A and B are shown apart, each in its own frame.
Chain A
Amino acid sequence: MWEAIASNARRSWVLVSLMGVLLIALGGTIGLAIEPQVGGYFGISAAVLVWLVLWATAAGAGDSILLSTAKAREIQKEDAPQLWNVVEEMTIASGLGRMPRVFIIDDAALNAFAVGYRPQKAAVAVTAGLLKRLNRDELQGVIAHELGHIRNQDVRFMTLASVMVGAIVLISHGFLRGMFYGGGRRSSSRGSGGGQAQLIFLAVALVLAILAPLAAQVLYFACSRRREFLADASAARFTRYPEGLAAALEKIAGQAAPQTEISRVVAPLCIVNPLQGRALVSLFATHPSTEERIQVLRRMGGASFAAYQAAFQKVHGGRARCIDARTLAEDADVAVRAASAEPAGHEAAVVRAREVGELLDRVASFVVIPCACGVRLKLPPGFPRDTLKCPRCGTQHAVPRPEAAPPEPRQPARPLRYHRRTGGWESFQCTCGQTVQLSPTFGAPDVACPKCRQRIEVVPAGSA
């Protein structure tokens, strides 16, 4: 079954290597165009250096950068037991071994994405809108799709590839700008020595700088689309229920508002492209069209990879392939399971919406005061007043202060001590950051910090 990963990885390496060749060619020709003798080596090293820096950043801190740009907050089991359980179930079904961390994004739009340069440190993030609108089976489908990405090591590849694209774009852009603003002056000052070769390199470099970013992006997006199909197939196989993901995709595609919070950076990782409102040429689309994906899922005659492949061919016609032959050969037929019993209808939706609202409040550390009359008073963090009147029955409620409990200055475990160096004017920094000044005549055994009021022992100069 996991041959899919191996073949995926092979294909990815070919693509990444192609991009690498493109990057080196670009760096080399730009270098030669600027300095025909040794510029080639310099250009190649500069290009590789740019790539290395970008890659190190993405591999080291990429996950946290992505999650914080999307304003995702980590949750624990108590916050959203059902979501947590679904993630845990899918971890077991996918044989991932270690449960990814779970994040929630306070956004009404419906979307989800997975990050994790290493599968052991993966994380999934879902929007609040998604939790509100999807039932358990649909949520399971979405989570299975995301874990499929993690299991198929898509995130790692997408990071590598997007960094490669980024480096190519950066270098081309820099070169083209340089040409427009400084290029003419440089070539005229150099005279005609070896100008012929340089002119040719210059022309080649210009063409490459214009075409390379486009070529890199086409490669990147083609690969990204294929991986979406594979993740859908994995989701159907893990859940044994293709309809769950299909229904979820339908709901997600039907949403009115385009996503605002999720930026372009995260877009390729999402379950559907959050930026679909903008006109994207299909060659440059990171995701296959959602309708197409729903059609394939709905036409599956089972839950196996083979069933997905068959449905894929039915939709696309001909001999279109999305799963390699070896995976299909090692896979057996698996039947689709029945839908799980869950209440549908308006009431269930209302209950779920309220639960998600409370979850968001908890995650954002809102304070909720339940009034005896049934009204729930919700206070944002840092509510300024001490009491609050219930708008319905008029009862006065004391506002609980979560961290205001110890108002007295915090005494550190170890007494703070400052050793005077001279007998003159001296100043030092308190642990709270406040500067404390001592005059030449200061003779007391301790001093109070003017800001945090904690006592700092002062040892006179000369004594041990």
Chain B
Amino acid sequence: MGTTTIGLLIALGVLLVVLFWLIGIYNGLVRLRNEVKNAWSQIDVQLKRRHDLIPNLVETVKGYAGHEKGTLEAVVAARSRAVGAQGISNQVVAEGELSQALGRLMMLVESYPDLKANQNFLALQEELSSTENRIGFARQHYNDSVMTYNTRIQSFPPNVVAGMFNFTESPFFELEQPAERAVPQVKF
């Protein structure tokens, strides 16, 4: 009788310890998954920021190089495609095209010294190159978070908890072709 009670108590104690341990692992996984979600929304914020900058940029360039219609229209068209893109893969492609169009616009600017001296344009240029950096850093942080999260899900004790509560691996944000990786080379 006495030994059974003690045995039961020990079993109960062990069970409690295991339970708390599992709760700890579960909470850790939730924290990591939320960090991945936040990191993804940060990329969206920065892409939106770039979309918002472009109309202003196009207007400023028009004032000095209005006859370069083709390049300007390409940027505007690429922007509206990027804004309307649905689904991650389409979005990645559209944003890549927008980056290329912007790169061509910035190359063209090189031959307009007046434009390059315009204060408004210089400010926009700093904003644009900073936004490109931000997109890069947001992507980097997202991939870092995904890596930590995925490693945790795959490693031994957490993978049991992850299996029970349906934690699935997150995809990395990779640009499919190296050409699309090219961000506009903004020259100062």
Contacts and interface: CB of A to CB of B under 8 A. Distances in A.
Same assembly:
yes
Interface in A77-116: 81-82, 85-86, 88-90, 92-95, 97
B121 to A, nearest CB: 13
A265 interface: no
B126 interface: yes
B176 interface: no
Interface string A306-343: 00000000000000000000000010100000000111
Interface residues of B, number: 25
Interface in B27-45: 35, 38-39, 42
Given A92-B138, A95-B145, A85 B187 contact: no
Interface stretch (B82-90, B107-115, B129-137): B129-137
A347 to B, nearest CB: 11
10 contacts: A82-B130, A89-B130, A92-B46, A92-B138, A95-B144, A240-B140, A330-B151, A341-B187, A342-B188, A343-B188
B140 A332 contact: no
B125 to A, nearest CB: 11
B81 interface: no
B39 A95 contact: yes
Interface residues of A, number: 22
A238 B134 CA distance: 12
A364 interface: no
Nearest to B131: A85
Contacts of B65: none
B123 interface: yes
A85 B126 contact: yes
A238 B133 CA distance: 12
Contacts of B187: 341
Nearest to A90: B137
Contacts of B137: 89-90, 92-93, 238
A86 B134 CA distance: 9
A416 interface: no
A82 B148 contact: no
Interface in B89-147: 123, 126-127, 130, 133-134, 137-138, 140-141, 144-145, 147
A88 B148 contact: no
Interface string A48-91: 00000000000000000000000000000000011001101110
Contacts of A85: 126-127, 130, 133
Interface in A327-369: 330, 332, 341-343, 348
B185 A88 contact: no
B42 A330 contact: no
B144 A1 contact: yes
Nearest to B43: A92
Contacts of B186: 341
A92 B123 contact: no
- Interface centre among B42, B130, B152, B187, by most A CB within 10 Å? B130
A86 B151 CA distance: 30
A413 B134 CA distance: 47
Nearest to A95: B141
- Interface centre among A81, A88, A92, A348, by most B CB within 10 Å? A92
B134 A81 contact: no
Given A92-B138, A95-B38, A97-B38, 7 more contacts: A81-B126, A89-B133, A90-B137, A92-B134, A92-B141, A341-B187, A343-B188
A88 B130 contact: yes
A342 B125 CA distance: 13
A238 B42 CA distance: 16
A89 B133 CA distance: 7
A88 to B, nearest CB: 7
B16 to A, nearest CB: 24
A238 B186 CA distance: 21
A89 B134 contact: yes
Contacts of B141: 92-95
Nearest to B122: A81
A312 B140 CA distance: 24
B185 A330 contact: no
A2 interface: yes
